[in-house]
Amino acid sequence: MALALPAHALGTGELVDVVIQAVEPQLAPAKPLVVCLIGGKSMEQCVQLELQKQAGGLQQQAAGQLPFNPNDSHIQQVITIVKAAAAGQWLEVLNKGGPTVAKMVGCAALPPGVKSVGCPIVEYVVDHNKSLLDKAYVAVQGPDWWALVELLGPQTACNFIPIPEIKSTLCGPFGEALAALAGFAEGGVNAIGNFLGDLAGAIVSFTEDLAGQSPPMAAEKYYAEHWLPHVHRYVMSVLSGVKGIEADSWVYGNCVSYFDSHKASEATAKKVCSRMQSHAKALVDSSVAAVKAAVPAYLAAALRPQLPRLLILNFERQPGEAVKLGEKNWPYLKPYDQLYSQCLMDLRKRIGVPGWLPNQYPYGKWTTQPDSAWKWACDQGMLAIVQELNGWRQKGGQQLLAKMSGFGCQRRVPSDNQAQNPTTFNSKLYLACDTYDGYDACRREITAHGVPGHEQCEAGQQAGVKLAAQVAAELGTKRCTQVPGYTEIRCTRPWKVAQCRVRAMPPDDAPAWHGARLSCQLKDDPQFTAAQQQAQQILFKVNGGVGSKTDALGTMPGEAGPWKGASEDNCRATWDPLAIRCKSDDVLASHQVSLPKCPLYDLNLDGADQPCAVQPSRARTARDAAATSRAVPAGLLSVQP
């Protein structure tokens, strides 16, 4: 009944967290690998990226140091379940993960506003009728209570409906009217035979001695061909405040004339046709009751939950809206056009009112406005929801603007609206945010209203500049600077560039097409380049290297004499290529190398200014561990200027 909804309310990262917790909590460290694989990279690529992250950027990290087995079968199971949940294939989630996983993931993925009622319904369907899981999940997201009543049956569904107004309509008079109407539909035209009883068979036996007359058609057939087609017209008459079937002597008169001229006496014909008329009137009365009851039911179950969404899409009334509302010209009145179209489809499918419509009527002109019972009901529902929106817009709209202002987001009125031209007027709410934090908050808030947040929220021109200043301050001014007035950050250390690029990426719940928010560049630093070459020469020497290289491969004798590559493992560079760590205190001294000590603490990962020695004999303190465990982002060794 509601318009199309997303398959789940979680971002990819959040969904992965939930599935891992449900399938195998010990795989929590594998989340980045899972996200990487879902993103389309190969297992080899994702493992290498994760190894670099886990290694903290150390140049000599050995393979196989991941805190989980990348070949664990549970990882593939997690990926399969995440993809199924993202696509709304909840029966597949159940089949691949089992009932417990389906309940946990299905509940967690519901929008916040429906969890309290939706989670018990998901659990019930998983336990009692899993074949309905996909359809039930779509209905729960609305929640579309009407659809749930149809799926689960009134007795079951009404136990879950928490809103008295909806429960009283779907499970009260409206439910009774639908049940009565369903009884007619279930019996079909054959029910007229039971309704007429012995009278239908008595037509011929009472009058068979009348010569020159052919036998009448079966009563069921006559009813289906000559009474049933008029039911919709009678329903519309009643809805319009005019008498229906009892005021139509023409159909009744034709019925009497037919049977009177086909071997029935006039008295018998009147008895038969009176019973047909009574049956048709009962059908009309049931149809009218169902159509009238559908208005508050549809308003409560389908239209009213759309108010948050309508507030965003119709934040400002359109020029000439009052005139169009008076004309009930819904197909040309956005955003109500989609709701109206959906209402017609829903009611037509769920309330079967038989009979010809005006454009099908074969006996002259029949015009009504509206021209069907479904349009009549939808007109009433739409007028009610517009009235509620107009009242709610003032209070709810101001509250929303105040909340967004707290995030640094202000309303932006489209320039075309100044002309008040109905053709170009845009009634949607647009918000411009002066920071990316505000933009992300805006995007999530508007999405919670049922509208894609990235379409209504935008980051202002200064958002990137402010983010660049914030990130540059986090990285530290010793190695990084922001280009004044721009979104570009330049750093003199490759791992700082990698850190910058991580911060430049949008959060996981941002649209996939969102790119980097900052430009992070490696700035040439001749002093660092020279110091790095010096550190490499020291490592070459203390690890057994002799001579100097004269070609790119380092296989030719150098000017200093015979050349031998470094084959020992006495010292290594750490995440900082200028910081050298040796196995023992005397390695450097034995090679006549004297280096200053590296800074004791480097919590900001600035790195050294010149080659230095990390003291191997000093126990690493908690603060040291904290500094080096701040993972140098993957790819730091491959950052290019």
Quick check: 202 pLDDT over 60?
Answer: no
Q: Which of 22-26, 59-63, 202-206, 529-533 has the highest mean pLDDT?
A: 529-533
At 562 the pLDDT is 64
CA 34 to each of CA 30, 51, 91, 94, 571: distance values in angstroms, whole numbers, following the listed order: 6, 14, 22, 20, 35
At 186 the pLDDT is 54
Maximal C-alpha separation, the chain: 137
At 214 the pLDDT is 74
CA 286 to each of CA 22, 63, 243, 351, 357: distance values in angstroms, whole numbers, following the listed order: 49, 75, 15, 11, 18
What's the mean pLDDT in 408-427? 80
> Residue 520: in which H helix or E strand, if any?
strand 519-522
- Global pTM reads 0.64
At 369 the pLDDT is 66
Instruction: Yes or no: say if 475 and 506 are a contact pair by the CB < 8 Å rule.
Output: no
Quick check: 538 pLDDT over 80?
Answer: yes
Select the more confidently predicted residue: 493 or 51.
493
Considering the chain, what is the average pLDDT of its residues? Answer: 81
Select the more confidently predicted residue: 51 or 241.
241
Neighbours of 55 (CB within 10 A): 19
Only one residue has tokens 């209905």, namely 139
- Angstrom distance (rounded) from CA 311 to CA 309: 5
pLDDT band at 185 (very low <50, low <70, confident <90, very high): low
Instruction: Yes or no: say if 80 and 96 are a contact pair by the CB < 8 Å rule.
Output: yes
Closest to 631 in 3D by CA, of 52, 56, 55? 56
Instruction: Yes or no: say if 161 and 171 are a contact pair by the CB < 8 Å rule.
Output: yes
pLDDT band at 331 (very low <50, low <70, confident <90, very high): confident
Q: Show Cβ contacts of residue 423 under 8 Å, excluding neighbours closer than 6 positions.
A: none
SS (H, E, C) 422-454: CCCCCCCCCEEECCHHHHHHHHHHHHHCCCCHH
Instruction: Yes or no: say if 315 and 428 are a contact pair by the CB < 8 Å rule.
Output: yes
Residue type, 101: V
What's the mean pLDDT in 355-361? 79
At 67 the pLDDT is 67
- Angstrom distance (rounded) from CA 556 to CA 360: 96
Q: 3-class SS at 603?
A: coil
Select the more confidently predicted residue: 552 or 417.
417
Closest to 237 in 3D by CA, of 251, 227, 248? 248
Residue type, 92: E
At 142 the pLDDT is 74
- Give backbone dihedrals phi and psi of 578, rounded to 5 degrees, phi first: -90, -15
| DSSP state, residue 302 | I
Q: Give 270-325 pLDDT, tens digit per residue.
A: 988 998 998 888 889 888 988 998 898 888 888 888 888 889 988 888 777 766 67
Q: What distance, in Å, lies between the first and last C-alpha atoms of the chain?
A: 55
- Angstrom distance (rounded) from CA 33 to CA 44: 10
At 436 the pLDDT is 94
CB-based burial label for 638 (10 Å; 0-12, 13-18, 19+): exposed
Q: 3-class SS at 491?
A: strand
Chain center to CA of 446? 12
The share of the chain scoring above pLDDT 70, in percent, equals 80
- Angstrom distance (rounded) from CA 500 to CA 498: 5
Quick check: 232 pLDDT over 70?
Answer: yes
